[in-house]
Amino acid sequence: MRSDLKSFTELHYLNLLSVPVVAILLPSRYSNSVLKEDDVLRPRIAFIGTGGTIASIGSDPFDLLDYNASGARVDAREILERTGLQDAVADIVPVDFRQIDSTAISLTDWADLADLCCELASDSTLAGIVVGHGTASLEETAWLLSLILDLQVPVVVTGSMRPLTGISSDAGANLAAAVRVAATRTGGGVFVVMNDEVHCPRAVTKSHTLRLNAFQSPWQGPIGTVDGPTVTFARLEPHRPALLFPRDLLRRLPRVDITYSYVGADGCAIRAFAEGGAKGIVSAGFGPGLGSPAETAALADAVSAGIIVVQSSRTGAGQVVDSARHQSLGIIAGNDLSPQKARILLALCLARGDSPRSIESVFQSA
């Protein structure tokens, strides 16, 4: 986030902006802007549909589990129509993109989505962008976008745990909340909005296969809430230009694999990844960030072969110890990033041609 939007006073202004009011206090960077009342009451928000459960059509309202079987998904316009949100919360402009399951999101999809966000953001009449996404890989797409996009409008990624047609579906509620966050004129940033909570992409993870409150930021909690029309930010992530990568790197991300530790792991997967051409390997290690002895030996061999190895943890939260042993082997500590997020950061660093030392400092500051 922009550092000039960090103070609580200004955050309070953001809160006010989400409520239909006539007198408006603006954050300092907008203090010379003239906003018509209509602009605030009816912000224009682009809604990009990528597919996922939020776009899925079940066989009947009680089909809450196996709706993927039919593969029936609708585009952004139809999601708005079916949820009745077309004109309800904002002037929402549907932008069709893909209708895929998020388990099928590819590097090309990421690159195209980032390009589309940039193209949309160049339209000065848009106040924000909402991306509807499958929940399976939502946290990865949001994290990736946060490392690439440096836009003047917020990008809010949302999805749903129940299909669009399911009984008590959260599709409409999540979309409405996401639109409200996208309309808060935060001045940029990428957010995840699910279940009336705002999360930062770095911390959020899908922590349950089915529950409506599956999206959590373990040990950190949400950064904001959405209560009806009121968006309240408790805190905003600092804007970190050093963690921004050029968009064109997305078209040439190298192979980076993840290896998962378990009792008796013998390093076979690590050797297979190396033979498969991995340029980087992330180890989702035991609690403190440790592989089994055989894995550590295989990772050391990978480092010797020129593969960049990042040590992460399978626990789901907490800092990985930058142990003396890892340092001596040239294994980089993954900070407190989940393995899947460490993988994205490592792939971007490698695509940029960073040296091992630079990659280490990127992870330390991430």
Q: Quickly list H helices, the chain.
A: 8-17, 37-41, 76-83, 107-121, 138-148, 171-182, 268-275, 293-304, 324-329, 339-352, 356-365
Q: Which is nearer to ligand ASP, 177 or 350 (CB)?
A: 177
Q: Which is nearer to ligand ASP, 64 or 310 (CB)?
A: 64
The residue type of 192 is V
Q: Which is nearer to ligand ASP, 12 or 208 (CB)?
A: 208
* Tokens encoding 104: 């099928």
* Tokens encoding 343: 């993988």
Q: Which of 9, 50, 53, 259 is catalytic?
A: 53
Told to judge if 53 belongs to the known catalytic residues of this protein, a careful annotator would answer yes
Q: Does 52 bind ligand ASP (CB under 6 A)?
A: yes
> Smallest distance, Å, CB 344 to ligand ASP?
17
Give the integer Cα–Cα distance in Å for 314 and 253.
24
Q: Which stretch binds ligand ASP (CB under 6 A): 81-89, 132-140, 220-228, 326-334?
A: 132-140
Q: Which of 99, 135, 205, 313 binds ligand ASP (CB under 6 A)?
A: 135
List beta partners, residue 333.
311
Exposure letters 106-139 (e unless 16+ CB within 10 A, then b)? eeebbbbbbebbeebbeeeebbbbbbbbbbbbbb
CB 178 within 8 A of CB 127: no
Q: Which is nearer to ligand ASP, 13 or 215 (CB)?
A: 215
Interface of this chain with ligand ASP, residues 144 to 163, rule: CB under 6 A? 159, 161
Binding mask 59-78 for ligand ASP (x = CB under 6 A): ---------x----------
Q: Does 50 bind ligand ASP (CB under 6 A)?
A: no
Size of the site for ligand ASP (CB under 6 A): 11
Kindly list the catalytic residues.
Answer: 53
Q: Which residues bind ligand ASP (CB under 6 A)?
A: 52-53, 68, 101-103, 134-136, 159, 161
